[in-house]
Structure 1
Amino acid sequence: MMPNREQIKGHWNEVKGRLQEHWGQLTDDDLQRAEGSAERLVGVVQQKTGATKNEIEKFLDGLFGQSVSDQASEAVHQYADAAQQAASEAAVYARDHYRRLASQTEDYSAKMVDTVRSRPAESLAIAFGVGVAAGALLFFGSKK
């Protein structure tokens, strides 16, 4: 399917450059005569180069097919970059929260050690009470 007028106009500089790259004998003046019309463009290229209409149309189709794939490739790269950035930010967030939690756990452990050292009898009584309660829950819970 040959490109339409809007496609050619929207990508005129690229089309012009690629045509001149492929058919070196085309000048800016030659291509200026055809600007905006696919049919005129094919006619000018045919007249100047001797290429067949089919060959020129295939070349133009390839230009726009490649342009679309280039755009898709660019979009994929942009999404990949955005995903990588989000993953990096998530890793920093997780690392910071892990450090904070580890610090709090360390603080709690240190306080518990201090409490046990300063009040050994009370700590032993609490541990004994918790053990009895857990045993009772397990014993009576298994009877059901």
Structure 2
Amino acid sequence: MAFNQQTLEGNWNEIKGKLHERWGELSNDDLQKARGSVDQLVGMIQKKTGEARERVEQYLSEVASGGASGVSKVAEAVRGYAGTAAESLGDVRGRAGDAVRGGYVQTERMIQQRPIESLAVGFGAGLITGVVLGLVMRSR
């Protein structure tokens, strides 16, 4: 990826941080003065550090391509998190299904072991539901 004006403006904060890491002698004022122009930035870095123009341009190109690879790394991480979330959701769904099946089996077993009590509970629940529905329908 070539380093150009658009790259400079679009990734200024990241580039500025990388320049400070590489060349600590660059001040914020120096970088702010050169912010608008690639040529001014390269010239200012050369003047302050004594680096060859080719090395400065090569480093800036590396920084610019690192930004693009950074975006792809973030996208890759997001895809990984999405996959993990999908797996977790599948696990939760499986556990919920197991719990429902377990509840069904337990209820079936209880009905088989205590049929009279189960019938009484069912009758009571139906009676209460009927009374509530009757009261609701009557109030309308």
Q: Is the TM-score greater than 0.5?
A: yes
Question: Structure 1: which 5+ residue stretches go unaligned?
Answer: 115-144
TM value normalised by structure 1: 0.66
Q: Does 1:32 align with 2:32?
A: yes
Q: Distance in 2 between matches of 1:38 and 1:4?
A: 7
Aligned to 2:44: 44
Q: Is the 8 A contact 2:11 2:67 kept in 1?
A: no
Normalised by the length of structure 2, the TM-score is 0.67
Using the TM superposition, give the Cα deviation of residue 104 of structure 1 relative to its aligned residue in structure 2, in angstroms: 3.3
Runs ≥4 residues deviating over 2 A? 101-114
Please tell me whether residue 82 in structure 1 is matched to residue 82 in structure 2. Answer: yes
Q: Does 1:18 align with 2:18?
A: yes
Amino acid at match of 1:76: E
Count of residue correspondences: 115
% identity of equivalent residues: 32
Point out the more displaced range, 96-105 or 42-51.
96-105
RMSD of aligned residue pairs (Cα, Å)? 2.4
In the TM superposition, residue 90 of structure 1 has moved relative to its aligned partner by 1.3
1:62-86 Cα offsets, whole Å, 9 max, x none, are 1122222222222211221122112
Three-state SS of the structure 2 residue aligned to 1:24 is coil
